Structure 1
Amino acid sequence: MTRLALVGSGVTGERIAKRLDLVAPGCEVVAVDPRGTMAEAADCDVAVLAHGGPQIRSAVKLLAHGVSVVSTSDDLDDVRALSELHESAAQHGVSVVVGGGMSPGLTGLLARYLVGQLHHCDEIHLAVHGTAGPACARQHHKALAGRAVGLHDGQQINRPSGSGRELCWFPEPVGAYDCYRGELASPMLLHELFPDVHRISARVSANRRDRLTARLPMLSPPHREGGVGAVRVEVRGANSSGERLTLVAGVAELVGTCAAATAAAFTGAIVRGDLDPGVTVAGDERLDTIGLLREIERLGVRLQEFTGIPHPAHPVSTPIQPLTNDPHHG
Structure 2
Amino acid sequence: MRVAVVGLGAVGTRAARQLASTDGVERVLLCDTAEGRVDEVSSSLGSKAVARSGSTEQVPEADVVVLATPCGTQLQAAQKLIAEGIPVVTTSDEIDEVRALLDLGPEAEARGTSLIVGATFSPGLTCVLARLAADRLGSVDEIHVARLGTGGPACARQHHGSLGGVAVDWRDGGWQRRAAGSGRELSWFPDPIGAADCYRAALPDALLLVPAFPGVGRVTARLAATRRDRLTARLPMLRPPHPEGGLGAVRVEVRGRRDDGIAVEILGAMDRPGVAGGAVAALAAVELGEGRACHLGAGGLATMVEPKPFLRELARRGVKVASFG
Given the two structures, how large is their TM-score scaled by the length of structure 2? Answer: 0.89
Q: 1:215 aligns with which of 234, 242, 247?
A: 234
Contact 2:150 2:248 (8 Å CA) reproduced: yes
Q: 1:134 aligns with which of 140, 145, 153?
A: 153
Q: 2:263 aligns with which of 245, 252, 260?
A: 245
Contact 1:24 1:268 (8 Å CA) reproduced: no
Contact 1:23 1:265 (8 Å CA) reproduced: no
Task: Specify the alignment match of 2:84 in structure 1.
Answer: 65
Query: 1:219-238 counterparts in 2 under 5 A?
Result: 219-238=238-257
Task: Specify the alignment match of 1:270 in structure 2.
Answer: 288
Instruction: Name the aligned partner's letter for residue 2 of structure 2.
Output: R
Deviation at 1:296, TM superposition (A): 1.3
Task: Specify the alignment match of 1:5 in structure 2.
Answer: 4
Deviation at 1:24, TM superposition (A): 4.8
Task: Specify the alignment match of 1:117 in structure 2.
Answer: 136
Using a 3 Å threshold, how does the CA distance of structure 1 residues 297 and 87 change in structure 2: closer, same or farther?
Answer: same
Query: 1:22-171 counterparts in 2 under 5 A?
Result: 22-33=21-32, 36=55, 38-39=57-58, 41=60, 43-54=61-72, 55-171=74-190
Structure 2: gaps (5+ residues): 34-53
Deviation at 1:125, TM superposition (A): 0.5
Instruction: Name the aligned partner's letter for residue 93 of structure 1.
Output: G
**Using the alignment, how far apart are the partners of 2:146 and 2:316 within structure 1?**
24
**Using the alignment, how far apart are the partners of 1:206 and 1:26 within structure 2?**
38
**Using the alignment, how far apart are the partners of 1:37 and 1:66 within structure 2?**
18
| 3-state SS in 2 of match to 1:193 | coil
**Using the alignment, how far apart are the partners of 2:124 and 2:208 within structure 1?**
10
Deviation at 1:26, TM superposition (A): 4.5
More displaced 10-residue stretch of structure 1: 84-93 or 160-169: 84-93
Task: Specify the alignment match of 1:173 in structure 2.
Answer: 192
**Using the alignment, how far apart are the partners of 2:83 and 2:245 within structure 1?**
36
Using a 3 Å threshold, how does the CA distance of structure 1 residues 37 and 171 change in structure 2: closer, same or farther?
Answer: closer
**Using the alignment, how far apart are the partners of 1:8 and 1:217 within structure 2?**
24
Instruction: Name the aligned partner's letter for residue 146 of structure 1.
Output: G
**Using the alignment, how far apart are the partners of 1:39 and 1:24 within structure 2?**
27
Deviation at 1:36, TM superposition (A): 2.3
Instruction: Name the aligned partner's letter for residue 187 of structure 1.
Output: A
**What percent identity do the matched residue pairs reach?**
46
Q: Note the alpha carbon deviations across 1:292-313, whole angstroms, 9 max, x for none.
A: 1112112210111113xxxxxx
Corresponding position: 1:291 with 2:315: no
Using a 3 Å threshold, how does the CA distance of structure 1 residues 232 and 289 change in structure 2: closer, same or farther?
Answer: same
Task: Specify the alignment match of 1:326 in structure 2.
Answer: none
Task: Specify the alignment match of 2:41 in structure 1.
Answer: none
| 3-state SS in 1 of match to 2:264 | strand
Given the two structures, how large is their TM-score scaled by the length of structure 1? Answer: 0.88
**Using the alignment, how far apart are the partners of 1:92 and 1:83 within structure 2?**
15
Instruction: Name the aligned partner's letter for residue 144 of structure 2.
Output: H
| 3-state SS in 2 of match to 1:283 | helix
| 3-state SS in 1 of match to 2:299 | strand
**Using the alignment, how far apart are the partners of 1:128 and 1:26 within structure 2?**
31
Deviation at 1:40, TM superposition (A): 5.8
Instruction: Name the aligned partner's letter for residue 160 of structure 1.
Output: A
Contact 1:38 1:62 (8 Å CA) reproduced: no
Instruction: Name the aligned partner's letter for residue 240 of structure 1.
Output: D
Instruction: Name the aligned partner's letter for residue 279 of structure 2.
Output: A
**Using the alignment, how far apart are the partners of 1:259 and 1:79 within structure 2?**
16
User: What value does the CA root-mean-square deviation take over the aligned residues?
Assistant: 1.6
Structure 1: gaps (5+ residues): 308-330
